[in-house]
Amino acid sequence: MVLDDLLRRRLVFLSGKGGVGKSTLGLALCLAARERGKRVLLVEIDTPLEAARVLGRGPSGPEETEVSPGLFTVNLDPRGVMDEYVRHAVPTAMLSRRVIESPLYHRFFAAAPGLPDLMVLGKIMTLEEAHDRWSGKPRYDLVVVDAPATGHGLSLLRVPLAASKAVPVGPIGHNARRILAMLRDAKRTTLALVAIPEEMAVVEAVEFHETAAREVGIHTSAVFLNACHERRLTEDQEAEVLRLAAAGADGPLARGIRLGPALAAGRRQIRRRKLTRFYQARLRKALPFPLVSLPYLFEEEMGAGAIRALAERLEAS
């Protein structure tokens, strides 16, 4: 099962084109893992609308917050992560405060290429490696990273490789090599791609996998095709809808409902289902790992019930 394979790792990165439901899927994956008894952390990166709101909780911010029993979230702000690093690296609080408040430090953080992403990945590594002080057990059984959309997401994963080459010595180079080793450890880390049945989303998912495998060496476990329109009519019913629509049929269908608009809605559903099947076939042909199709949810706003429905589908995958 795909979920079994994903949950064998401790660190799962999710990425895909913006607007494909990556954050929703990340939360559903966390719920599915939590239902299996795992202690789970969902990491978001500088997200204005946090996943916790879907569960009816307030913002989690930069601190790990338990939003549901066994499920924690954290929203990493790159600048805040860098400030935290300075506080740990500089020996006294007064000196670290002076560094953080310095205009030179502000300019350095803004100008240093890739430094914010490297700091964020370093924080993710720290969270994945964290252990309970008393029991010695890992703090989390699974860390799910809601990575940025494909363009920035790929840049994020590339940074440790570039930094390890550019900075061969010193703490930054050392940490970059540790992060790169973590990303390349297929027993520890994996990538899952997210798309929807649309051209650009599918193209970006395929290109992301190829580039990430070639340049970073990260293992990919699955691709999730979100918002799939599933069959609602039999083949004979679909044929009848298309025939009646082509003939311009109309008239009362039920109280307050006319046949013409109902046929138009049925024709759109048929077209979207066929598009879903087309992109399912395309992804299966292009990518050498399992495809998991998730249904389009007819919800104006995603709530806890919708997330649980997706978690159940993941469990069955």
Measure CA 18 to chain center: 10
Asked if residue 174 is part of any domain, the answer here is: yes
Rg (CA), the chain: 23
Asked if residue 285 is part of any domain, the answer here is: no
Q: What's residue 312's pLDDT?
A: 93
pLDDT tens across the length of the chain (317 residues): 889 999 999 999 999 998 899 999 999 999 999 999 999 999 999 887 677 777 767 667 778 889 889 999 999 988 888 778 777 777 677 777 777 777 776 676 676 678 889 889 999 999 999 998 888 889 999 999 999 887 888 999 999 998 888 877 778 888 899 999 999 999 999 999 999 999 999 999 999 999 999 999 999 999 999 999 999 999 999 999 999 989 998 988 888 889 999 999 999 999 999 999 999 999 999 999 999 999 998 877 778 888 899 999 999 88
Q: ∠ CA 78-82-87 to the nearest 5 degrees?
A: 145
For β-strands 257-258 and 252-254, DSSP reports them as: antiparallel
Q: Are 22 and 150 in contact (CB under 8 A)?
A: no
Q: What's residue 303's pLDDT?
A: 82
Q: Which helix (H) or strand (E) holds 11?
A: strand 11-16
Asked if residue 142 is part of any domain, the answer here is: yes
Q: Are 13 and 157 in contact (CB under 8 A)?
A: yes
Asked if residue 73 is part of any domain, the answer here is: yes
- The structure's pTM equals 0.91
User: For 56-88, what is each residue's pLDDT tens digit?
Assistant: 676 677 788 898 899 999 999 888 887 787 777
Asked if residue 274 is part of any domain, the answer here is: no
As a whole number of angstroms, the distance between CA 120 and CA 124 comes to 6
Q: What's residue 13's pLDDT?
A: 97
Asked if residue 236 is part of any domain, the answer here is: no
Q: What's residue 78's pLDDT?
A: 85
Q: What is the dihedral of CA 316, 195, 117, 133, to 10 degrees?
A: -10
User: For 21-67, what is each residue's pLDDT tens digit?
Assistant: 999 999 999 999 999 999 999 999 988 767 777 776 766 777 888 98
Per the rule left: phi > 0, alpha: psi between -120 and 50, beta: everything else, 61 is left
Which residue type does 294 have?
L
As a whole number of angstroms, the distance between CA 134 and CA 164 comes to 34
Domain encompassing residue 199: 2-229+291-316
Q: What's residue 115's pLDDT?
A: 83
Q: What's residue 111's pLDDT?
A: 65
Q: What is the CATH number of the domain that holds 42?
A: 3.40.50.300
Which DSSP string do the residues of 172-186 spell out, in sequence order? Answer: HHHHHHHHHHHHH-T
Closest to 177 (Cα-Cα) out of 42, 116, 185: 185
Asked if residue 276 is part of any domain, the answer here is: no
150-166 vs 115-129: helix axis angle to the nearest 10? 90
Asked if residue 262 is part of any domain, the answer here is: no
| Domains: count for the chain | 1
For β-strands 252-254 and 71-76, DSSP reports them as: unpaired
Phi, psi of 73 (to 5 degrees): -130, 155
As a whole number of angstroms, the distance between CA 116 and CA 156 comes to 9
As a whole number of angstroms, the distance between CA 277 and CA 260 comes to 26
Q: Which pair of tokens denotes residue 53?
A: 């709101």
